[in-house]
Chain A
Amino acid sequence: GAGVSQSPRYKVAKRGQDVALRCDPISGHVSLFWYQQALGQGPEFLTYFQNEAQLDKSGLPSDRFFAERPEGSVSTLKIQRTQQEDSAVYLCASSSVGGANTEAFFGQGTRLTVV
């Protein structure tokens, strides 16, 4: 399994609960991205890391969303006080180095359902 790994695959949270979603990128990949995919929609960008530095967090929908990648490999997306509108598939992707020929490899996603 050399691909991007995400856990858990499924998460059911009660409204108001905090959740943490994990992403293990491909070993050696410098860039890491989080996307949110609501039902019937395409993935929407949340945030981007290059190594441990969070270079773009313009897509995070509110201050309840927080992402980190402290050692430049594994990343965690945390959602505080979950709301029903947070229900979506959260996708993680990694790529080796940015540039025109860089391919982003996606994980299987974590399906979050807030009840």
Chain B
Amino acid sequence: AQRVTQPEKLLSVFKGAPVELKCNYSYSGSPELFWYVQYSRQRLQLLLRHISRESIKGFTADLNKGETSFHLKKPFAQEEDSAMYYCALSPQGGSEKLVFGKGTKLTVNP
């Protein structure tokens, strides 16, 4: 079964502190992993995907196949990073049929 687990429903950090949003997945094949973000009153949008190995808005995520994890990290959190973050898996290796986690609400305090 394909499943994405985000163990933290809420995460609160202070501005300038490092932040890590956890994501674990279960899938027998080679999935593609994504992080989507939803800022207040905005639509869900792609933040980054593991295949592109980019750093977006200072965020990075490394796929660890041994631990089946795809944690999202940023060394110095900013207030504008406050949002809902969803980890997602695509079993077919593209963007079809995304399987989402339940999301983590990140609050960055001043």
Contacts and interface: CB of A to CB of B under 8 A. Distances in A.
Given A42-B86, A43-B44, A107-B43, A100 B100 contact: no
Contacts, number: 63
Interface in A74-99: 91, 95, 98-99
A101 B52 contact: yes
A42 B102 contact: yes
Interface residues of B, number: 24
B100 to A, nearest CB: 3
Main secondary structure of the interface of A (DSSP, over half): loop
Contact of A99 (B94, B101, B103): B94
Interface of A: 3-4, 31, 33, 35, 40-45, 48, 56, 59, 91, 95, 98-109
A44 B100 contact: yes
Nearest to B84: A42
Interface string B81-110: 000001010001111111111110000000
B56 interface: no
B51 interface: yes
A40 B106 CA distance: 14
A46 B47 CA distance: 22
Nearest to B46: A103
Contacts of B96: 31, 33, 48, 56, 98
B45 interface: yes
Contacts of A95: 95
B100 A101 contact: no
B32 interface: yes
A109 B43 contact: yes
A106 B42 CA distance: 10
Interface centre among B32, B44, B102 (most CB of A within 10 A): B44
Contacts of A109: 43
Nearest to A97: B94
Contacts of B86: 42-43
